[in-house]
Structure 1
Amino acid sequence: MMKMLIPICHHCNQTRSVRKHGKGRSTGTQRYYCQSCKKTFQTKYIYKGNEAQIARQVTRLISQGNTPEMIGAVLQVGLSTVRHYLGSSHIAHISDLSA
């Protein structure tokens, strides 16, 4: 018998109030809904633009003189993702962590 893994809400860490909530349109990945915090999530997140390392890599590549277009091509993320990290507090936060 296969043991079923219970998903944990990424937003509030609850397990008891998590229910299946359909599948993602583009990926077919199972989605879940947390009845505690009323948010949806996926257990396997496949979008590279939201990975923690992307902000660090954008910071490093921009400090080396690369353009946002070049960074997007190298990291295989959209230009809007690169601009998001360049124009937000992510850069300042990453700088604080590495200091």
Structure 2
Amino acid sequence: MGEATTRFVERTLCPLGKGSHATPEFEENKSLCGAGILFMLPSLLAQGLLKAKEVFRLPSSHYYGLESVVLTLAFMALARIKNPEQLKQCKPGEIGRLIGLD
């Protein structure tokens, strides 16, 4: 697990099939790279961003639920990250805190 991992119990239980996906939890941070993206979160939610769970389903034994995947894709677009391959250049802990998982 990475250095920025704070929810290691949930990360450990999901692959074993003993937990469900982690729900995003946003916490107070003093410094977060790309935090300006969070200003768009209320407007994205008002437009129905998370209504995808009414149509699509993911297996419940994964750490990343549908909400987290949709938030990641939306934040990628706002951060001008053109494809998932470019996420390798971002710090995983920073992205995790942006989507509420670390």
Identify the TM-score tier after normalising by the shorter chain.
under 0.3
Higher strand share: 1
The structure with the largest alpha-carbon Rg is 1
Higher helix share: 2
Question: Please, what TM-score do these two structures have when normalized by structure 1?
Answer: 0.25
Question: Please, what TM-score do these two structures have when normalized by structure 2?
Answer: 0.24
